[in-house]
């Protein structure tokens, strides 16, 4: 009997599909979410193992390096063609593992970027901050990154909570969108929710969805106020599934404990309205709670996460814990 059991286990091990593996380089990355030749084809349920470059594509390595050295910003790994995904479907991207690569991360501010500098949306008459670049020593043993002030005598350690700043699909209508922009296709959401233990749902707009990942962060404060997180290359492992015939208008996250709806636009209050209305509709459709009741429930139990307000669009996430909901239908 034992021999038969071992043989069966061996067969199961041998039958397990190999992950889809792909290695991105500075010469293969993309800088838009949109139509492009796929780097790999992935079937529903398969696992992808790949890497992402940092937001400057490895151009910033040492004190004195400037943002002008970067070939572009937010280089994307992909696209991955998801077999069987068609417009009107939803893909589910479950992040299984995410590791910071290398020993140094960076952060920066620059004229025209960040909430305290002028830009075309919010002009000011005060002078901008000049460009500054900070480098963070990564200590994987303690899971921290060291902030070193460059205009003051001060250092402190920041706990690392790695996530992908960019996860998105090709937009509708065959359009392409800059990798620095978030929208209903996902994109540069800078959401710490794009991390291990979370599943991200994205609408499928074109055949194969054309999934991209990139812009790894070791840590980030709410809002990404000055325009960058601790920017790092990463090694990521994720699983992709397809929900056939399930149509969503905006990205969503889910964990075992919570539902999270994403709103992306300007001004900030409209981004929150999108997130809240999407969460109400999600609760009504999947949990059977009348939308007016769901609206009241959010008013007393929801949490709001402002993930970034420095890109062309702002990103807000409305969150409700499942313990406050009826059983899922």
Question: Per-residue pLDDT tens for 80-137?
Answer: 999 999 999 999 999 999 999 999 999 999 888 888 888 777 787 778 888 999 999 9
Q: Which helix (H) or strand (E) holds 169?
A: strand 163-169
pLDDT at 31 over 50: yes
Q: Tell me, what's the pLDDT at 124?
A: 78
Give the residue, 7 or 242, on which the prediction is more confident: 242
pLDDT at 7 over 80: no
* Confidence class for position 1, pLDDT limits 50, 70, 90: very low
In CATH terms, is domain 18-324 a member of 3.50.50.60?
A: no
As a whole number, mean pLDDT of residues 16-34 equals 94
Q: In what order do the strands lie in the sheet with 252-254?
A: 20-21, 47-52, 234-243, 90-100, 199-203, 252-254, 258-265, 314-321, 303-308
Residue identified by tokens 């990404």 is 224
**Strand bridging mode 90-100 / 40-42:** unpaired
Question: Per-residue pLDDT tens for 197-227?
Answer: 999 999 999 999 999 999 999 999 999 999 9
Domain ranges of the chain: 18-324
Using a cut of 0.75, tell me whether the model's pTM lies above it.
yes
């Amino acid at each position: 009997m034992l021999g038969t059991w071992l043989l069966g286990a061996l067969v199961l091990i041998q039958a397990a599909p190999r992950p889809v593996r792909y290695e991105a380089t500075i010469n293969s990355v993309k800088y838009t979410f949109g139509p492009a030749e796929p780097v790999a084809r992935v079937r529903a349920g398969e696992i992808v193992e790949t890497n992402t470059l940092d937001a400057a594509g490895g151009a910033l390595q040492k004190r004195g390096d400037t943002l002008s050295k970067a070939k572009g910003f937010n280089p994307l790994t992909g696209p991955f063609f998801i077999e069987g995904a068609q417009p009107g479907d939803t893909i589910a991207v479950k992040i299984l593992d995410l590791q910071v690569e290398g020993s140094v991360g960076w952060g920066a501010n620059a004229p025209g970027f960040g909430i305290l500098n002028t830009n075309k949306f919010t002009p000011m008459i005060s002078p901008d901050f000049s460009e500054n670049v900070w480098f963070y020593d990564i200590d994987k043993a303690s899971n921290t990154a060291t902030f070193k002030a460059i205009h003051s005598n001060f250092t402190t350690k920041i706990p690392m909570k790695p996530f992908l700043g960019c996860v998105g699909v090709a937009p509708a209508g065959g359009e392409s969108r800059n990798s620095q922009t978030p929208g209903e296709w996902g994109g540069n959401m800078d959401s710490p929710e794009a991390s291990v233990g979370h599943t991200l749902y994205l609408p499928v707009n074109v055949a194969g969805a054309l999934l991209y990942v990139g812009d790894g962060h070791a840590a980030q404060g709410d809002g990404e106020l000055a325009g960058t997180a601790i920017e790092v290359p990463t090694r990521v492992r994720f699983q992709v599934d397809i929900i056939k015939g399930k149509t969503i208008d905006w990205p969503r996250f889910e964990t075992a404990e919570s539902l999270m709806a994403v709103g992306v636009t300007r001004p900030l209050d409209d981004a929150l309205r999108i997130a809240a209305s999407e969460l109400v509709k999600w609760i009504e459709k999947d949990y059977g709670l009348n939308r007016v009741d769901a609206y009241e429930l959010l008013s007393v139990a929801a949490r709001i996460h402002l993930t970034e307000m420095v890109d062309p669009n702002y990103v807000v996430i409305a969150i409700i814990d499942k313990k406050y909901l009826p059983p899922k239908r």
